[in-house]
Structures are given as structure tokens and as C-alpha cells.
Structure 1
Amino acid sequence: MTYILLIVGFALLIKGADLFVDGSSNIARLLRIPAILIGLTIVAFGTSSPEATVSIIAALEGSAHVSLGNVVGSNIFNITLVVGVAAFLYPLKVENETIRKEIPFTLLASAALLILMSDIALQGFSSNLLTRSDGIIFLLFLAIFMYYVIEIGLKSRKNTEEEQAPKDIKWGKNILITILGLAGIIFGGNLVVDNGTEIAYSLGMSETLVGLTIIAIGTSLPELVTSISAALKKESEIALGNIVGSNIFNILFVLGISATISPLAVDNKVFIDVGIMIALTAVLLIFSRTSFRVGKREGLVLAAAYIIYLVYIILRN
């Protein structure tokens, strides 16, 4: 029964995120917000909402290792398997200046996470902890990122004609869809955390491992579906932009809110995972800078890297 409830939870997360993205994107069009702003904020935030819900619920329930493991595991899954599969289906062009700036910003956010959780090494404390003040620092970083995105959006608005919202888009319907999506995300998130941790304990897995694997993969399914769909439609910038934007939201928003709610204890094993996340982000930056595209070969390398990483963390446990 626990496994069935876990699957139901994931289904609600995925469908909820899908409805949330559709509804909120249409509301943004009704408000005549530029398309680039929708992609960088609403789509990225919408596909990150399962991670946010699961991590916040885990923080409230005192499962700190699930919160941190979920974010780090999701980011590694996004950079490797999601980008890898999308690039294999259709080479991802990196032409947009915005994306080329977002990847270094992801690297900066990842480095900030490593520094803020290294309390023993840097400050001589008895334990490593993401404190409430660390959470607030993440949220301040997020405010800087949002300012940058809004500035980009306003510039694009000046350079392009304002798009009119299609007549078939209605306020009432999209507000309802957005609320239903959010409800699905929250309820599904509860089921995933409760049943995922129960399964972990029954199998002798640690909270950190279940966060890095089962929950991380489950909450990253919206990114996977969105990016594969974008790649198949040859919308390569949406595919890559969605992943990079989601990873920034995962670190700055998800961990920022989670740590502000309840300080997060850091498992020593997570330092290796954060190091791997930073290294893989750097690899993605190199791939995107060299020929301004992530092709089939690079996609296979990234996908293979995730398989190797998954085997490593399972054996490590």
C-alpha cells in the first residue's frame, strides 16, 4: 500500500505541476507579461514546485536530510539525465545570452551552498548546519536573480511588440486550474515525503539516500517531461532554460525557504554530492560555451554520468 501511495503522490505532483504551469502561464499572458519572463520565472518555478513542496514539508516534519538530499539529487538529475535525454533527442542550441548567464549563476548558487554548509571547516563549529540566516542569504540571492530576470523581460518588451492574449484564454478557468495544480502539488508532496521515508526505513536506506534517489527523481519528473517535450518540438532554449532556471530555484528558493522554516542538519556524505553537482554544472557550462550547443554526444556523456553517479550513491549507502 505504501508503494501505491508513493506512486499516487508522484502522479499528483506531476499533474499538479502541469496544471500549475499551464494556468499560471495563461494568467501571465492575460497580464501581458513578456514570453521570456514567463519562461524564466513561471515555467522554472512551476517545474520546481514539487521539490519546493517536498522539501518544505520535510523541513516542517524535521526530516532535514530529505530536504537537502532532494535538492542536490534533483539538480544532479536535471543536469545529467534530463539535459542528456533532451540533447540526445534534439541538439540543444545555446544562442540566448540569458541562458549563457544563467549557467554561471547556477554555479555561483552551488558554490554558495557549499560555503554556507561548511560550518565545521570554515568556522570550527561542532556540526554543519544550514541555519535560518543561511536561508535568508539564499532568498536574497534569489531576489537578485529575480531583479535580473525582470530587467531582461522589460528590455525584451521594449524590443518586441506586445503579444495579445488569445481570446479563448479566460481568467476564471485559469485561476481554477492554477489552484487545482497547487493543491495537487501540496497533497502529492505530502504523500511522497511520508511514504518515501517509510519505504527508506523499511529497506534500511538513510534519509539522505532516499532524498538523493527516489524523491529527487520523482520530483524532477516535471522537468524531464517539460524538457523532452520542448526538445521534440525543437524548442531547445526552453528545454535548457527550464533546467537551468529550475536548478537556481531549487537552491535559492527551496533551500532558502526550508532553512528559514527550520535549520537543516547537513549529512557529511552530502558534501561529495554537492561537489559532484558543482563539477557537473561546470561541465554543462563548458559544453554550452564551446560550440554554443549541447549535442547528442554531450547528451550521452551527461546521461552516462548520472548512471555512474546513481550506482555510486547506492553502493556508498
Structure 2
Amino acid sequence: MTYLLLLVGFGLLIVGANYFVEGASKIATLLRVSPMLIGLTIVAFGTSSPEATVSIIAALNGSEGVALGNVVGSNVFNTTLILGLTALVIVIKVQSETIKKEIPFTLLASVVLLILVSDVSLQGMDTNTVTRGDGLILLSFLVIFLYYLIEVARNSRESSAAEHNPADRPPLGRNLIFGLAGLGAIIYGGHLVVQNSTMIALQWGMSETLVGLTIVAAGTSLPELVTSVAAALKGENEIAVGNIVGSNIFNILFVLGLSAVISPLRVEGSMTLDMLILIAITVILFVMARTGSKISRLEGLFLTALFAGYMTFIIIRG
């Protein structure tokens, strides 16, 4: 039964992503904002819902390894495998604003997280912990990012107002229903995949932290995977990129920030290395995006290989 529910979850993710991307792109047209902005906000926040659900529940249950490993592992998964596979489907064009602002903000969030959890090396404490104060700092950075998005949305609407034709506006009701139904299917499908894959993994004797970095991280990132690939297949490059960049930012600032405010998270020593790897991968993404403002198929293959290497490393490490 566990394996059957796992397959049902995968099915809901695939079908839900198709409807979600379709509805989101039409809503972007209706609101007169760029698909990139929709990807950075509605799509990114929606596909990050499984991470938020899993990490908050894990924090409440005292499973710090799952809560933190889920976020760090998901961001590595997003930046390597998801962008890599999406680039293999279609060459990803990256907007200049994404290169100059959104990707650097993702890097900043990762560096801030590393600094906040380096209690042993920076303050001489016995353990590394994401405290409630650290959580509030992360949420404060989220407020700054949301303010930036509001300004981008306002400028986008003003610049497109002159060329907007009311006759071209898609029906709001139908696309809102499609988008919400797709998001609901994605979230519930992600829940089924995470719940049942975790049960299977624990039966195989995997540790809690390893489960968080691998099975749970991959499971909660499946909405980003199917959404980005579906967006790429539909030619919605901006949604595909915005989804990944926005999800990584929301995962660190919102998911971890809120989880830490609810319950402080103790950080295992090995997680510091995983955060350094995440920062290095984000720098690699930034360099790739700056070369021709695109991520080529060859670069997508390299990102996919990085993911395979990272998974091999943490499994051997245990």
C-alpha cells in the first residue's frame, strides 16, 4: 500500500504542475506583471509549501535533522538537478534582473544562514543552533525581499499599462480555479510522496539527518521539479527560473525562519559542510547565468552531475 500511495503522489504532482503553470501564466497576463515575478512569488511560494509543512512539523516534533536537512537538501536539489534537467529540456534564458539581484539575494540568504549557525566557531559555544532570534533575522530578510518584489510588481504594471489591451485579458475565475486546483494537487501529492518515501527509507535503516537531506528533500522538491519542467515544455522559461530562485529564498528565509521561531533547531556539525556546498553551487549558478544570460544544455548536464556527486557523497558519509 505504501508503494501504491507513492505512485499516486507522483501522479498528482505531474497533473497538478500542468494546471498550476497554465493558471499562473494566465494570471500573470491578467495582473499585467511578468511571468518571472509570478514565478518568484505565487509559484515559488506554492511549490515551497511542502518544505514549509515538513520542516514546521519536524520542528514541532523535535526532529531538527529533518527540518534543517530538508531545506538545505531541497535548495541543493533545486539548484542542481531541477535546473539541470530543465536546461536539458530547453536552454534556459536568464533575465538580467535575475542575474543582478535575485540570484545574489539567494547567495546572501545562504551566507546569512551559515553565519547564524556558526555558533561554535564564531562564539565558542558548545553547539550550533538556529535560535528564535536567528529565525527573526531570517524573517526580517524575507520582509526586505517581499518589499523588493512589490516594487518590481508596481514597475512592471506601470510599464505594461500602455500596451495592455483589456480584450486580451484571460478570464480570472477559471484560471484561478485551475491554479488553485493544480497547487492543491501538488501539495497533497508532495505530502504523499514525502510521507511514504520516508517510511520506506526508515525501514531501510537510514538516519534521520540523511533522510532529511535525501528522501525528504527530494520529495518536497518534486513540486519545483515538475513545475519547472512543465513550464519549460510550455515555453514559460521565466516561470521555470523564477520558481527555483524564489523557492530557494523562501526555503531559507520563510521556512527555516518560521521553524526556528516555533522551536530552536540544533545543527549537526556535518550540516556546516552542506551549507558551504550550497553556497558554492549558488556561486556556480551565478557564473553560469552571467555567461550569455542563459543556462545551456551542457551546463544543465554539469549541474545534474553535481547533484549525483553530492548525493553519492552524503550517502557514503551517512
Q: TM-score range by the shorter chain?
A: 0.7 to 0.9
**Aligned residue among 162, 169, 172 for 2:171:** 169
State the TM-score, normalized to the length of structure 1. 0.87
**Structure 1 counterpart of 2:286:** 285
Structure 2 residue 139 is matched with structure 1 residue 125: no
Counterpart secondary structure, 1:220: helix
**Structure 2 counterpart of 1:58:** 58
Answer whether contact 1:196 1:210 (CA < 8 A) is retained: no
Greater Cα shift, 5-14 or 97-106: 5-14
State the TM-score, normalized to the length of structure 2. 0.86
Gap runs ≥5 in structure 1:
none
**Structure 2 counterpart of 1:231:** 232
Per-residue CA shift, 1:221-254, capped at 9, x if unaligned?
2222222223233333332222111111111111
Seen in structure 2, the aligned counterparts of structure 1 residues 86 and 177 have a Cα distance that, compared at 3 Å, is closer
Structure 2 residue 208 is matched with structure 1 residue 207: yes
Answer whether contact 2:44 2:243 (CA < 8 A) is retained: yes
Per-residue CA shift, 1:100-132, capped at 9, x if unaligned?
311110000000111111111112222111112
Cα separation, 2, equivalents of 1:315 and 1:255:
26
Aligned residues: 316
Q: How does 1:141-160 map to 2 (within 5 A)?
A: 141-160=141-160
Amino acid at match of 2:304: A
Cα separation, 2, equivalents of 1:57 and 1:11:
24
**Structure 1 counterpart of 2:277:** 276
Seen in structure 2, the aligned counterparts of structure 1 residues 235 and 20 have a Cα distance that, compared at 3 Å, is closer
Amino acid at match of 2:38: I
Answer whether contact 2:24 2:179 (CA < 8 A) is retained: yes
Answer whether contact 1:90 1:296 (CA < 8 A) is retained: yes
Counterpart secondary structure, 1:126: coil
Answer whether contact 2:79 2:244 (CA < 8 A) is retained: yes
Answer whether contact 1:87 1:296 (CA < 8 A) is retained: yes
Greater Cα shift, 204-213 or 18-27: 18-27
- Offset, 1:194: 4.5
Gap runs ≥5 in structure 2:
none
Counterpart secondary structure, 1:222: helix
- Offset, 1:290: 2.4
Structure 2 residue 263 is matched with structure 1 residue 254: no
Seen in structure 2, the aligned counterparts of structure 1 residues 175 and 154 have a Cα distance that, compared at 3 Å, is closer
Cα separation, 2, equivalents of 1:155 and 1:249:
22
Greater Cα shift, 258-267 or 177-186: 177-186
**Structure 2 counterpart of 1:40:** 40
Structure 2 residue 301 is matched with structure 1 residue 300: yes
Answer whether contact 1:21 1:42 (CA < 8 A) is retained: no
Amino acid at match of 1:312: F
Answer whether contact 2:21 2:230 (CA < 8 A) is retained: no
Seen in structure 2, the aligned counterparts of structure 1 residues 121 and 107 have a Cα distance that, compared at 3 Å, is same
Percent identity reads: 60
Please give the root-mean-square deviation of Cα atoms over the aligned residues, in Å. Answer: 2.8
Amino acid at match of 2:83: V
Per-residue CA shift, 1:233-290, capped at 9, x if unaligned?
3333332222111111111111112111221121222111111111000000011112
Counterpart secondary structure, 2:125: coil
Cα separation, 2, equivalents of 1:185 and 1:296:
27
- Offset, 1:312: 1.1
Cα separation, 1, equivalents of 2:194 and 2:17:
17
- Offset, 1:159: 1.0
Counterpart secondary structure, 2:144: helix
Answer whether contact 1:28 1:38 (CA < 8 A) is retained: yes
Answer whether contact 2:17 2:230 (CA < 8 A) is retained: no
- Offset, 1:60: 2.2
Cα separation, 1, equivalents of 2:272 and 2:242:
26
Greater Cα shift, 142-151 or 14-23: 14-23
- Offset, 1:144: 0.4
Seen in structure 2, the aligned counterparts of structure 1 residues 192 and 81 have a Cα distance that, compared at 3 Å, is closer
